[in-house]
Amino acid sequence: MSVYVLDRSGKPLMPCSEKRARLLLERGRARVHRLVPFVIRLTDRQVADCALQPLRLKLDPGSKGTGLALVRDTEQVDANTGEIQRGAAVLNLFELVHRGRQISEALTARRAMCRRRRGNLRYRAPRFLNRRKPKGWLAPSLRHRVDTTLAWVNRLQRWAPVAALSSELVRFDMQALDNPDIEGAQYSQGTLAGYEVREYLLEKWGRKCAYCDATGVPLQVEHIHPKARGGTNRVSNLTLACQACNARKDALPLEVFVTDQARLARIQAQLKRPLKDAAAVNSTRKALVQALQATGLPVETASGGRTKYNRCRLTIPKTHALDAVCVGDVDIVTNWGKPTLTLKCTGRGSYQRTRLNQYGFPRGYLMRTKRVKGFATGDLVRAEVPSGKKTGTHRGRVAVRATGSFNIQTGTEVVQGISHRHCQVLQRADGYGYIQQQSSPKKEAGEGRATRTMRSASPA
């Protein structure tokens, strides 16, 4: 991953490589500003002395996670056609994991406590007329997605000279831009034909065959109620099947083809299942773009179909972060095989002072203070234990206890019972947990680019 660089007054400069950052630190020309993500601050440079290149932050909003990619915009001329191709050189990849589900469960628990208290106190008439929600209101679990995404956009602006933003929002009519006279059935014959419906079905049916659960094979769009028997092309009548299952089913009714009653019931239930994740994204997409536009940077929006088209054309594996790289108008992607830093939203604690049982009644009590011996849950610490069963150096996220005996969550395990006397704070808790993932699959023949004519990896 690239290392963020600040000048001596704290203003962002161009990110550098890990090797260059190590040399700057060894020669005393820089100091460590932050550990995760790694940020250094120069001691002998000002932003006026450096040349900056255009950086773009790309976002792929999702319900459970949002992909972020910091790229450098490039342009080059195609040797065959002479056209200017727009490229993206990847600097850093992030995957922001939301905690909307935890927020929803916490509000449910709070509601149970309130109902319990009201049952033991005097009667109070319900108040409905004075609880009108303001325009643009979002549920807390949805507002969390917008706020955390915007928070990381602002953070990356402080660490890197971001000049533009790109995000998924709407479906642009790209065919009408190329051919203003397009009409009728001609829309189904363009370059992006079928991408939106296919992406919907892949998300709904878990990217596997509905009849045999086969994965990693080409999937075909299949009519549950066959067209030969009066079936329609409505999305509610479509599913995914491998070539073998699609051929065997042919024009058979679903009840005749699927003999396993458990599988039949599961398929019928899946047909009626709403896409809650898709509904969450649809509810927050406009609010997110409005928040991005409020930053004052130019915002480019694109459809999900365009993102998938770019990813398949450039043969890039599917992850949230790499989907963000493919957002918008991009012809060439370089250096996409970088490791991804997972940013897991953990929160900053809770106002709740008791635990709840399954009926919503209080169970036990929690500490009144968040800090114990100068440490708080979520701090990144290093513990050097000189003796005992846990001898060694442990580095990770700490969970404090009132007794001063802490737990440390390392990258592989939870080390329990570490005394506070052996701990040293590396970075204070900021509401996020950090996990460094492995690099993306290696590129073929050692190349660092994916273009229309050059393959760099097999599709995921």
Sign of the C-alpha dihedral computed for residues 419, 420, 423 and 426 taken in this order: positive
**Dist. CA 1–CA 23, nearest whole Å:** 16
CB 344 within 8 A of CB 378: no
Sign of the C-alpha dihedral computed for residues 27, 40, 411 and 459 taken in this order: negative
Pick the closest to residue 156 from 285, 70, 74, 88 (CA basis).
70
- Where are the domains positioned within the chain? 1-45, 193-276, 364-430
Peptide bond into 37 cis (omega under 30): yes
193-276 CATH choice from 1.10.760, 1.10.287, 1.10.30, 1.10.1760: 1.10.30
Q: What is the pLDDT of residues 256-290, one digit of tens each?
A: 898 888 888 888 888 776 667 777 777 888 899 99
CA angle 18, 70, 283 (to 5 degrees): 145
Fold match, 193-276 / 364-430:
no
95: which residues sit within 8 A by CB, 6+ positions away?
A: 65, 66, 67, 68, 319, 320, 321, 340, 341, 342, 343, 437
For the beta carbon of residue 119, count every other beta carbon within 10 angstroms. Answer: 8
Does the domain spanning 364-430 belong to CATH 2.30.30? yes
List the chain residues with pLDDT less than 70. Answer: 120-122, 124, 128-130, 170-196, 273-275, 360, 438-460
How many residues are there in the chain?
Answer: 460
**Dist. CA 440–CA 358, nearest whole Å:** 42
pLDDT of residue 454: 30
pLDDT of residue 192: 53
